Structure formats: C-alpha cells, structure tokens
Amino acid sequence: MATERDSWDFIPGFTTPGDTQLDSTDRRVSFSDNVAGHPPRPPHDTTRLSQYFERTCDEHPSATALECDGERLSYADLDQRANRLANHLLRLGVRAGVRVGILLDRSVNTYVTLLAVTKTEATFVPIDPAAPADRVQYIAEDSELGFVVTTTSFAATCAGLPCPPLYLDELGGALAAAPSWRPELETGGDPVAYIIYTSGSSGRPKGVEIAQSSICNFIGIVPVLYGVEPTDRVYQGMTIAFDFSIEEIWPTWAVGATLVAGPTDGRRVGSGLADFLAEQEITMIYCVPTVLATLDRTLPLIRTVNVGGEACPRELVDRWGPGRRILNTYGPTETTVTCTMAELYPGKPVTIGRPLPTYRVTLLDDERRPVGNGEVGEICVGGPGVALGYVNRPDLTADRFLPDPNGFPGERLYRTGDLGRFLPDGELEYLGRADSEVKVRGHRVDLQEIEGMLLQHDRVTAAVVTLLEAPETGGELAAYVIPRPGDDAEGLVAELHDLVLQQLPPYMVPAFLDVVDTIPMLPSGKADRKALPEPQGPRLMRDTGSYDAPDSPVEAWVAGIWEEAFGLPSGAVSVEANFFDALGGHSLLAARIISTMRSSDLGAGLSILELYRHPTVRSLAAHLEEGAQSGEAVAEPHLRRPVASSRRRVAAFGSAQIATFYGIVLLFLLPAAVVYALNDGEASVALVVQLALALPAFFLVVRWVLPVSARACCPVDCSPVTTRCGAGPTCGSGRSRS
C-alpha cells in the first residue's frame, strides 16, 4: 500500500519545492505557526473536465465506462452518445457562459448529459430530482438557466420555469441525426464548470460557482492519491446535486475504471445495498458514515472506502479498517469537493488529515487573526480549489472569501465555518461548527434557512431549529416557533408543515415542530439550542389521512415496529399510510426497520427493496404472509414488539450471571472428575455421567435463559409458538416464514 508521501510525490505535475520545511515523517509545510499545506502553484493550463474522459477514451475505447440499471457502455459508446447531445446543444446556442440545468432521475441519460454539457464548455447546474417544485423554480431563476435537460416525467415541475426544457425522451430523432464526433471548440479563459446549490442562511439555497481550473486541479490530484486503478469498479450512489458525486464520477473516468451507478430499485442502504455491492463486485465506495453504518456486513472485495460529508465514528473504522484502506475526506463545496484527507486505522484517533497537494489550511480566530500552535480556530482553505464565490451574493462572497496572504496575487481563503486544531503530528482535528450549519444524512443544512422560511409566516414571531442526535437515522431536525398571542397552535403547525413540505427538500423537513411560549437565549442574544426542550408534539407526517387499525397479528407486529422506529405511540400508524409519502420515512429509517424485522423468523430474509415495493403496513404484512412457508399453527400467533434497550440490558445481566455460575462449576469439576475417574474407576463413573449430563444443561441455559429473560421484560405476551412445521412466530394463516 502506498504511503501518503509516496502517493503525493508521484502525482504528475506536482513537485515539492526544495525550500519547504519537510521531513520524512511530516508532509506539513509551515508558512507560519497556523498554516499547513503546500506552497502556492501557478494556475493550471486550459485543460477541461471533459478532456480527462476523452483522453481515457482514446487510450481504452473498449473498456467499460458505465454500468447503470442493467445497461453497459464502453468509453467509446458513452463518448459518442455524449457527442451527439453536445452537438445538439451547440446547435441550440449552448456555449461557454450558458448555464444548463440537469433535472433527471438516475439513468444512463444522467451521465450522458453531464458529459455532454461539459463538452460544450457550458456550466452544468445539477438539480435534485427529489426537490420540491418551488426549490427547482428558485434555482432556475437564481442561476438564470438557459436550458434545463430533463424528461417528460418532470413536465409539471418545469411548467413555470423561466427557461425552455429539453425533454430527452422526445429528442430521439434529433439526437440520432446529430454528428457523433467531438465538438471542436476554441478553449480560452477559465469558465465556470458547474454550480452546486447548498443550504443558505437567507432562507434560500446559495449557488457555489466552481471554475474549470479548480475542478481540473482536483481531478489531476486525487486518482493517484486515492489509489484509483483501471481495474476498479467504483460505486456511484450520491445524487449529482451533491458534489460528493463528482468525486465518485470523474476520477473514475480519468483512469479508465468502471463506474457502477447505484440501484434504481431503492436498495440504497442496509442489507439491500450490501447485496448490490457484492453482486456488482464493487472495489471502491464513497459514502457518508451514516450509510456505511447501515451495511450489515463488511465486503471483502471492497479494497478502499472513502467516507466524508460528516464525522466518522471510530467504531466504523474498527469494523471496516482491517484488510482495506479507509480514507476520511473533508471539504466544503466551496473548496471543490475535498481539501484534506486522512487515512484511518483501527484503534487510532479519527482526524481529517492534511491538506491535499496544492491546498492550504489556515486557522483563524474570531478576529480573523492566526491562532497559535495547538489552539482552536476556524478552518480556512486556500489554493486553486477555492470557489469563485456565490451566485448573485456579493455580500456573502465578500464575507466568506478572504484575501490569501500566502497565495498568488488575487487568490483567496475560504472561511469554512468549521472549527479545528492541528495536533502535534500535523494532523488536523475537526471540532464541529462555529455557526448554525449542520449535516443531516450527509447533506449540508443551514438551520437559519429553515428558520427564515418559518418566519415568513405572518403568525410566527420567533423560530429556531436544532438537530436532534439520532445515530441510527443520521440525525433529525426539530423546529420550535412562538406564535402571535392568542393564535391556534394546532392550526399553525398544520400550516407550517404544509409550507416546509412545499419549499424544502425531504432531508430539510423537520421531524418535529413544536409551538412554545419562549425560546431559551444566550447572553449574546442568540438562541441557546442546547437548552431547547425535547420535542413534545407528535412527529410530523406528510399526510396522516384516516386511521385504519391492524386486522391481523402480522399487521399489528409490523405497525409496532414502525411506531417504534418513528418514535410514535402505539396505534399511531395507520396500516394504509405510505411509509415515504405519508409518514415521511427515508432510506436510513427503512434500513433500521428492515434490520429489526429480519431478526425474527417471520422477517428473515426481508430486504429493504421489499419495503419500497410494499410501503404500507398492510401491503408489507400481506407480502410476509404470502411468502411464509405452509404449515398449520396450533396456537394463536404471538409476534413481539422490540424490547427496549434498558430491558435487554437487565435481562442480559441476569442471564449472564446464571450462565457464568454454571460455566465456573463445570470448568473446575469436569477436569477433576476425569482425573478421579482414572484413579478410582467404577466409583467415579456415576459422577462423570452426572457431569456429562450437566454439560448440555449448561448450553440450554445459554440458549434459552437469555431469550426467556428478555421476554419476561416485554410488556406483551412473548411466549413461543409451536407449529407443525417446527417454525417460530407464525402469521395469521398458520404459515411460517423460514
């Protein structure tokens, strides 16, 4: 395995200047006590993002570039399809400076369009297909899109946009007639390669402009640094509206590896994703730690795991580290995907590492002055990866992008809003946020954007939003509002809920929204988020509708597990409520539910895909019953709800005491009895036989006491059920699922 120094030294075009302070154990270059990274380098040449792909295509035209939903394209095939679309776009007037929106569900067309737009030198603006129409409208207006490439399935969303939609499913004839050769353009200057919209404190998302030189600098560095090889099969699971996807896609194509698009059938987390990764023989995966934690097994073919987007728990490193590389990458969108990297090892502290080649990190205090060694400061990033700024936000650009005293004239530092400190070995430790930005399932969320939206309602006088820690689901948002005096709280919650559903993407919709009399404040006058009470109101549902009670024990069992996962009281989930559309469920919550159900006989073998196919309690219960093995029950089914963790601990402690006692007795008496038997023969036979009979009893204690103790702690009847087929819990029809 290449060391960090080896990887960096062999990056083409990157050399370490002789006058830098560098030794064999530390890549840190000190310009002052608070700066780490690499000396500034002149701007790159006029290389374009699409040329990385085209160079690979020229060298390995028959290699597989993309596998997506059962379709496989070679580099030559993908190049020709992208060329046809690019030439069609050029004929419509798309050029450098024109901004082209991409609003597509994951398909081959997504990757063809990405490549095609880059070939025209236009700016691509990816839009999350799950975004509400209001957000799509805002992005189109704010970025002044010239066109949006989409399909007719988004016709309703595109109806009011200020730019013409190009429906790919209606362009068959035009694309077939377009030339398949590469567009020949005169490259000059440094146009904007793409604009990514992230959450903003103004109540609206902000567009980050990344220049061609910035993204090409990044792509020129990371394939070697990450160790991407032509034989790799790289998983691509992020939406293209998230710049993490750029790290998945373009380094893969730069070296001639195969990009494997994530499944379109809902297997995005948990055992379903693990099955997909194994089936597709994936060797490299980029993901947020929350998704990695849902995988129920480590996969031996995966040789590199690149985690980023949120803090990585040490437990994940300990579980996944042996036998593979674990890379922890850090970088806001404003620094072109990634600016620091650490290689993580089991049993070692988790850091965000050191700056990538050409990047620099400076730590500043509240007065924007450098901090001393070992002191905490705001992480500020310099180098060619720093973004151009925010679309139509000169005030915010001036505040977040500062002149870089260690860079070339005109280069700037980006203030990340993250806090960190340098450890004695030169590694950078991440210490959280200095402002109101948080991460929800890997997505950047500015809490002030949600607060600003709530304050737009004329009946709200104050609002604050906070992140509730929920490791199993990647965190959940809770909103607190103070209404006008005398207003109806219940009616206000309903109106605000409708408001956020219409204007926010799913990951930004609060799970709870409480009406309160006061909001705790800090002496500075800011809201004290740490002092906010636990949410008292029910979880917000997208569309509660009418309540339908369970009709069978299986439906009651499934509903109980859903209520447990959502934190709802018994009887709160209607058996006809859609998990995603009505309850507001997401993939991580689905993985948690499926994991719980798989722990029972009835749910064994259940995959997350089946929850996507059967998204109501009633349909999922019917699916379980239909799939159960035939057999006649001799007792009523008793399907248990999950036992609370505190009760499991009590049961486990008591069971462990009993098992330990039996184990100690056998450990000392059985060897002694055997020795005695060798000396006394007939007299000891009875003792040996008795101890031999006690040995199976010990295993019975271990096998049965713990489950029985756990059932004793459960508030419902958990007695085992016997069936003629020998199964455990049964469905109402008397059939059991193996």
Answer whether 49-422 and 462-531 agree in fold: no
- Distance separating alpha carbons of residues 664 and 309, to the nearest angstrom: 49
Decide if 306 contacts 325 (C-beta within 8 A): no
Name the residue with higher pLDDT: 659 or 124: 124
Decide if 304 contacts 327 (C-beta within 8 A): yes
pLDDT for 543: 60
pLDDT for 547: 80
Residue type present at position 336 = T
405 Cβ partners below 8 Å, 6+ apart?
A: none
**What are the tens digits of pLDDT across the range 19-63?**
333 233 333 333 334 566 665 555 556 789 999 999 999 999 999
Find tokens 């009979």 and name the residue: 693
Range 462-531 classified under CATH 3.30.300.30? yes
For 412, the 3-state DSSP assignment is strand
Decide if 415 contacts 402 (C-beta within 8 A): yes
pLDDT for 536: 84
* Average pLDDT value for residue range 552-558: 91
Domain boundaries, the chain: 49-422, 462-531, 645-712
* Average pLDDT value for residue range 151-169: 96
Quickly list DSSP for 346-379: TTS----BEEPTT-EEEEE-TTS-BPPTT--EEE
In this structure, what token pair is assigned to residue 206?
């902000």
Is 542's pLDDT higher than 90? no
Name the residue with higher pLDDT: 90 or 201: 90
pLDDT for 684: 45
Q: Which helix (H) or strand (E) holds 515?
A: strand 512-515
Determine if residue 121 is left, alpha or beta; phi over 0 gives left, psi from -120 to 50 gives alpha, anything else beta. left
In this structure, what token pair is assigned to residue 651?
């049961």
**What are the tens digits of pLDDT across the range 350-369?**
999 999 999 999 999 988 88
* Average pLDDT value for residue range 237-266: 94
Q: What are phi and psi of 382, to 5 degrees?
A: -125, 170
pLDDT for 487: 80
Choose among 83, 56, 78: nearest CA to 67: 78
For 633, the 3-state DSSP assignment is strand
User: Between 244-255 and 212-219, two packed helices, what is the crossing angle to 10 degrees?
Assistant: 60
pLDDT for 458: 81
For 23, the 3-state DSSP assignment is strand
Quickly list DSSP for 379-390: EEEESTTS--EE
DSSP 521: B
Name the residue with higher pLDDT: 666 or 461: 461
- Distance separating alpha carbons of residues 96 and 84, to the nearest angstrom: 18
Angle at 190 between CA 184 and CA 194, to 5 degrees: 85
pLDDT for 728: 34
Is 103's pLDDT higher than 80? yes
**What are the tens digits of pLDDT across the range 186-235?**
778 899 999 999 987 666 899 999 999 999 999 999 999 999 999 999 99
**What are the tens digits of pLDDT across the range 267-326?**
888 888 999 999 999 999 999 887 888 888 889 999 999 999 878 888 889 989 888 999
DSSP 204: S
Decide if 236 contacts 262 (C-beta within 8 A): yes
- Distance separating alpha carbons of residues 644 and 526, to the nearest angstrom: 37
Choose the weakest-confidence range: 56-70, 426-440, 575-589, 626-640. Answer: 626-640
- Distance separating alpha carbons of residues 725 and 237, to the nearest angstrom: 42
Choose among 362, 366, 352, 358: nearest CA to 427: 352
- Distance separating alpha carbons of residues 464 and 452, to the nearest angstrom: 9
- Distance separating alpha carbons of residues 234 and 259, to the nearest angstrom: 5
Choose the weakest-confidence range: 167-181, 250-264, 571-585, 708-722. Answer: 708-722
* Average pLDDT value for residue range 616-637: 66
**What are the tens digits of pLDDT across the range 125-145?**
999 998 999 999 999 999 999
Choose the weakest-confidence range: 105-119, 369-383, 447-461, 719-733. Answer: 719-733
Is 699's pLDDT higher than 50? no
Bridge partners of 439, per DSSP, are: 444
For 460, the 3-state DSSP assignment is strand
Decide if 104 contacts 130 (C-beta within 8 A): no
Decide if 47 contacts 216 (C-beta within 8 A): yes
DSSP 581: T
CA dihedral sign of residues 557, 558, 563, 566: positive
User: Could you tell me which CATH number the domain at 49-422 has?
Assistant: 3.40.50.12780
459 Cβ partners below 8 Å, 6+ apart?
A: 483, 484, 487, 492, 495
Residue 163: CB atoms within 10 A of its CB come to 17
Long-range contacts of residues 492-498, Cβ cutoff 8 Å, at least 24 apart: 492/457, 492/459, 492/460, 493/537, 493/540, 495/457, 495/459, 496/454, 496/457, 496/460, 497/540
Mean model confidence pLDDT for the chain: 80
pLDDT for 471: 57
Decide if 105 contacts 62 (C-beta within 8 A): no
pLDDT for 43: 54
- Distance separating alpha carbons of residues 602 and 625, to the nearest angstrom: 9
pLDDT for 187: 76
User: What does each C-alpha distance from 468 to 444, 535, 538, 703 come to in angstroms?
Assistant: 15, 10, 15, 38
Decide if 148 contacts 166 (C-beta within 8 A): yes
Task: Please state, for a pLDDT cut of 90, what percent of the chain lies above it.
Answer: 44
Q: How far is CA 71 from the centre of its chain?
A: 25
pLDDT for 709: 41
* Average pLDDT value for residue range 700-719: 40
- Distance separating alpha carbons of residues 37 and 358, to the nearest angstrom: 7
Is 146's pLDDT higher than 90? yes
- Distance separating alpha carbons of residues 737 and 272, to the nearest angstrom: 19
pLDDT for 138: 96
Is 644's pLDDT higher than 50? no
Residue 352: CB atoms within 10 A of its CB come to 25
Is 74's pLDDT higher than 80? yes
Q: What are phi and psi of 711, to 5 degrees?
A: -65, -35
For 343, the 3-state DSSP assignment is strand
* Average pLDDT value for residue range 441-446: 77
Residue type present at position 116 = A
Task: Using CA atoms of 517, 566, 611, 556 in order, give the dihedral in degrees to the nearest 10.
Answer: -120
